[in-house]
Amino acid sequence: MSTRNQDHNQAAPAAPQDLVRRFEQEFGSAPDGVWQAPGRVNLIGEHTDYNEGFVLPFAIDRTARVAVAVRQDATVRLLSTFGDQGMVTASLESLRPGAAKGWTKYPLGVVWALRERGIDVPGLDLLLDSDVPLGAGLSSSHAIECAVISALNELTGAGLGAEDMVLATQRAENDFVGAPTGIMDQSASLRGSKGRAVFLDCRDQTARLVPFETEPAGLVLLVIDTKVSHSHADGGYASRRASCELGAEIMGVKALRDLDVTDLEEASGLLDEITFRRVRHVVTENDRVLQTVELLAGRGPGAIGPLLDASHASMRDDFEISCPELDLAVDTARANGAIGARMTGGGFGGAAIALTPVDSAPTVRDAVAKAFADAGFAAPEIFTVSPAAGAMRIA
């Protein structure tokens, strides 16, 4: 595991007109438009998406923004405001899985995936800006992909609906970037809405927006970015996915979604110990998502703390995707007043969330910062998030 530096994490996104101006300076003419798409926090439902189960993420108020112009030739030119690669040029014909580097994998992956679907994507100039921290488990890559696919869907007149855009960005991630991820992140980014979490059934992509507002309940949702980098193209994510597929196969079901907690006793007799624990995480996590949705509708966000805690314990002990920094963030937040906390996202680093009474938030922040310093860990970044709008055109 490595610790990320700050290079890509900008404090605030450029205003649309600044991005347009910068685009004109760099590319010599105006863009056809500017599109943005948010990162996401997953409230609960981790590693359930590729098991055709349930998730409850929401779009956050941090976004990737792309200014895009169609070109008359078959060239794609890409530039980011982070400036780490300079201008990157690729020809449409040369796009191949595995060939692109750094952040350019995400826009080029979307171009590639759309062309694979038979959509005639032309040459492009593209300028990217983002304030979604990279590698923090907040889906910075999907924010880029969703901004780009929103732009290209409109510019090519392809007319894809949310479901197809989700599948195309998943194809870009799986087959171009090489990360065997599911459909949760792009669904949150494309379908998110202010004050709402996206309750998604990953078997058939049916989605329902569920009110999730912390403020009226006197709560805030803190994100604790541990600064520990992770990549879903590394082996950990894929090996968990493989265990789930093995578990489903031995249990004779299409996907782990088809098991419920009453099947666990039988599973314990049929599966090896590790596969059983992986399966138990997914089965109990699906159940926790359904319980969370029910509680939010009834008693509100103040009632979901124990489910967040149980989700973290399950990821730490059964799915084994936490790390010392995430465990310390979660334990310290809880010991200092959070009513529930868990790691969020794929794991092996990234961020934790802590649902915290407004009054306790400063104590939680200070205590987590101190605990990290005492443990010799890099300073975490701690900020609040609330459910925000999904992808849209902004200029």
Pairing state of beta strands 351-357 and 196-201? unpaired
Q: Candidates 68-76, 179-187, 260-268, 368-376 — which segment interacts with ligand GLA by CB under 6 A?
A: 179-187
Name the β-bridge partners of 57: 42
Rounded to a whole number, what is the distance in angstroms from the first to the last CA of the chain?
39
Of 184, 279, 326, 388, the one binding ligand GLA (CB under 6 A) is: 184
Q: Does 380 bind ligand GLA (CB under 6 A)?
A: no
- Residue 290, token pair as written in the block: 């359904």
Q: Which stretch binds ligand GLA (CB under 6 A): 181-189, 219-227, 251-259, 306-314?
A: 181-189
Among 181, 214, 311, 322, binds ligand GLA (CB under 6 A): 181
Per CB under 6 A, the list member of 145, 185, 309, 318 interacting with ligand GLA is 185
CB of 252 to ligand GLA, least distance (A): 24
CB contact at 8 A, 331 and 195: no
CB count, 10 Å around CB of 90? 22
Would you call 206 helix, strand, or coil by DSSP? Answer: strand
Shortest CB 103 distance to ligand GLA, Å: 16
Q: How far is the CB of 276 from ligand GLA (least distance, A)?
A: 20
CA distance 392 to 382: 27
CA distance 149 to 108: 10
60 binds ligand GLA (CB under 6 A): no
CB of 371 to ligand GLA, least distance (A): 25
Q: Residue 216 to residues 213, 297, 353: CA-CA distances in angstroms? A: 7, 14, 19
Examine residue 346 and tell whether it contacts ligand GLA (CB under 6 A): yes
Q: Cβ atoms within 10 A of the Cβ of 43, count?
A: 30
Burial zone of 21 (CB within 10 Å; 0-12 exposed, 13-18 middle, 19+ buried): middle
From candidates 105, 232, 288, 365, binder to ligand GLA by CB under 6 A: 232
Residue 46 found at the interface with ligand GLA (CB under 6 A): yes
Interface with ligand GLA, residue 285, by CB under 6 A: no
Among 345, 380, 387, 390, indicate the residue that binds ligand GLA (CB under 6 A). Answer: 345
CB 56 within 8 A of CB 210: yes
The answer to whether residue 135 forms part of the interface with ligand GLA (CB under 6 A) is no
The minimum distance between CB 345 and ligand GLA, in angstroms, equals 5
CB of residue 39 vs ligand GLA: minimum separation in angstroms?
A: 10
CA–CA distance from 370 to each of 49, 227, 362, 365, 378 (Å)? 35, 15, 12, 9, 11
According to DSSP, the residues that pair with 68 across neighbouring strands are 33, 126
Whole-number minimum distance, CB 167 to ligand GLA, in Å? 13
Nearer CB in complex with ligand GLA: 47/62: 47
Q: How many CB atoms lie within 10 A of CB 6?
A: 11
Greatest alpha-carbon pair distance for the chain in Å reads: 66
Q: Which stretch binds ligand GLA (CB under 6 A): 9-17, 45-53, 310-318, 325-333?
A: 45-53
Residue 50 or 276: which CB sits closer to ligand GLA?
A: 50
Q: Which is nearer to ligand GLA, 107 or 346 (CB)?
A: 346
Q: Is 185 a catalytic residue?
A: yes
Should residue 325 be labelled a site residue for ligand GLA when binding is judged by CB under 6 A? no
- Sequence-distant (6+) residues with CB within 8 A of 202 are 48, 49, 50, 51, 52, 53, 54, 55, 182, 183, 184, 257
The region of 47-55, 150-158, 205-213, 364-372 touching ligand GLA under the rule CB under 6 A is: 47-55
**47, 62, 280, 334: which one binds ligand GLA (CB under 6 A):** 47
The piece of 46-54, 60-68, 158-166, 297-305 that touches ligand GLA (CB under 6 A) is 46-54
What is the residue whose two structure tokens read 């949760």?
184
Task: Enumerate binding residues for ligand GLA (CB under 6 A).
Answer: 46-47, 49-50, 181-182, 184-185, 232, 345-346
Question: Which residues are designated catalytic?
Answer: 185
